[in-house]
Chains A and B, each alone.
Chain A
């Protein structure tokens, strides 16, 4: 057996570090350039280190697109969807995983396929129906739509988890006189808290990142999310280098915050989601 020596080990580490660096370099370049003045940028180009902290570019951009408003919209929509979609997933999965209702395989298959359905096949009717219902260009419309779409995945994942739920616990509670609703709220939900946490985090981030449906449903500036506002600006090709850079940094920052805050849940969650 050949023991890899240090001479052989370090090149592997070095190669992986370089690859990892390549992944994060775009973030670093964006951060470095967002604090340069336009004059400095045009004189020294994007690769030089900044000479000082120039924040006016970011401030200008923030005010110009009313970024606070976009952050509020994104947070409101994503948080509502995370809560509502998790609740809906719990109800569905309780019926499928613990209630073991008839035709549950077919019901589950329905949710799986609904989860895979391309949004392109729903977007025009949703646009049309929301106009009919007077919900077009409201944040509520996006909340409703994504609550349902995200809960398709939640139902699929949670049904598998609840399918393994220890039946003795449910039986014991039933014998003690708890009804189905009490069993759900007092036993199933507390015991499944880790999985529910994963769902909340995923739904929040997924909804934050959604683009097509919010782009179609939210046309007025006051209702747009961060993703849509930045994407539309970029699509109009009206931004100069400094503005694009400010947009990139302001778009990246919340994602990095979520990533740092939720890193554990994220990696654990992906593992759970994939194996189930």
Chain B
């Protein structure tokens, strides 16, 4: 059997990827160096778009908001997910049965199967300033002064969106970590318990090092998802009020399809792509190293 004779099976995949990913990606990169408006023929403008990006405060703001999204979609869910997974697996699972642990896990995972557009509708209804459930609840328990226009106040909107994203994202790390805990040798826990280690010390010295590969996987995936976040922002705030929740993907979307500055939009998405791919490579490296040790 010739070694390369299976290459033919790759042919449909290669052709499909050329048409849907490679060619569009190269087009997008090339258009980023032009002043194309979507009609007529594009004119080469060199680095003009990128020079303008450097001066564009909207661009910098949107990327600064990306950092907030990374906190909301990667750091907080990973931290919370670790504690919850350890508690569910190690504590609830052992003392109350795996059944209860599985039901609780399902509750945490439920928002993950929801289309993000629908999650946005649910929450914008709950967070509505007049007659929204949250404000009504606050009033009912005597905290009327805490009522806010959660998504309409530029000082608060970004934090509200972050809160919704934590809710959306939490189930993913939780389920991955619980699966990871399933393959940890129970003897390690027994040994630690015999040594008199309490729950917190077992968590730090046994659980965390054992599921480090999963932690890197989750952090990589969630960080990349956070940089790409679009649907939630589109449905909850449309980047508003006044750009208070603008993110790169929404910024490039409006530049493409509302302002039809296609060249400039391509430059924005190219910057986003470079950052995402750099993080992806870094994440994969860390992951490989963690799995090797």
Contacts and interface: CB of A to CB of B under 8 A. Distances in A.
Contact of B136 (A12, A46, A99, A129): A46
A167 interface: no
Interface residues of A, number: 95
Interface in B214-228: 214, 217-218, 224, 227-228
B220 to A, nearest CB: 9
A98 to B, nearest CB: 7
A227 B25 CA distance: 25
A114 B21 contact: yes
B20 A212 contact: no
B272 A118 contact: yes
Interface stretch (A20-28, A49-57, A192-200): A20-28
Given A1-B194, A19-B84, A95-B7, A47 B25 contact: no
B113 A258 contact: yes
Of listed A4, A17, A95, residue having the most chain B CB within 10 A: A95
Nearest to B270: A121
Interface in A247-276: 247-248, 251-252, 255-256, 258-259, 263, 266-267, 270-271, 274-275
A59 to B, nearest CB: 18
A2 B118 contact: no
A244 B124 contact: yes
Given A88-B16, A121-B272, A274-B176, A101 B4 contact: yes
Interface in B128-144: 128, 131-133, 136-137, 140
B214 A275 contact: yes
B116 A211 contact: yes
Interface in B1-58: 1, 3-10, 12-13, 16-17, 19-21, 23-25, 27-29, 31, 38
B193 A270 contact: no
A260 B244 CA distance: 37
B154 interface: no
**Is the contact region of chain A dominated by helix, strand, or loop, or is it mixed?**
helix
Contact of A121 (B5, B19, B140, B269): B269
A86 interface: no
B27 A244 contact: no
- Among B6, B12, B111, B116: residue with most chain A CB under 10 A: B6
16 contacts: A19-B108, A95-B9, A118-B276, A120-B230, A126-B24, A149-B20, A151-B13, A226-B115, A251-B122, A258-B113, A259-B106, A270-B175, A274-B179, A274-B214, A275-B179, A275-B183
Given A47-B133, A124-B265, A117 B276 contact: yes
Given A118-B269, A271-B179, A234 B120 contact: yes
A209 B252 CA distance: 21
Interface in B91-110: 91-92, 95-96, 100, 104-110
A118 B228 contact: yes
A180 interface: yes
Interface string A217-233: 00000000011101100
Contacts of B7: 95, 99, 101-102
A152 B21 CA distance: 10
Given A116-B280, A209-B116, A92 B9 contact: yes
A121 B10 contact: no
Interface of B: 1, 3-10, 12-13, 16-17, 19-21, 23-25, 27-29, 31, 38, 84, 87-88, 91-92, 95-96, 100, 104-111, 113-118, 120-126, 128, 131-133, 136-137, 140, 167, 170-172, 175-176, 179-180, 182-183, 193-194, 196, 198, 213-214, 217-218, 224, 227-228, 230-231, 234-235, 238, 248-249, 252-253, 256-257, 262, 265-266, 268-270, 272-273, 276-277, 280, 284
Contacts of B8: 95
A113 B115 CA distance: 24
B120 A99 contact: no
A88 B228 contact: no
Interface in A104-159: 107, 110-114, 116-126, 128-129, 144-145, 147-149, 151-152, 155
Nearest to B10: A95
B20 A251 contact: no
B181 to A, nearest CB: 10
A117 B277 contact: yes
Contacts of A211: 115-117, 230-231, 234
A125 B179 CA distance: 39
B8 to A, nearest CB: 8
A209 to B, nearest CB: 4
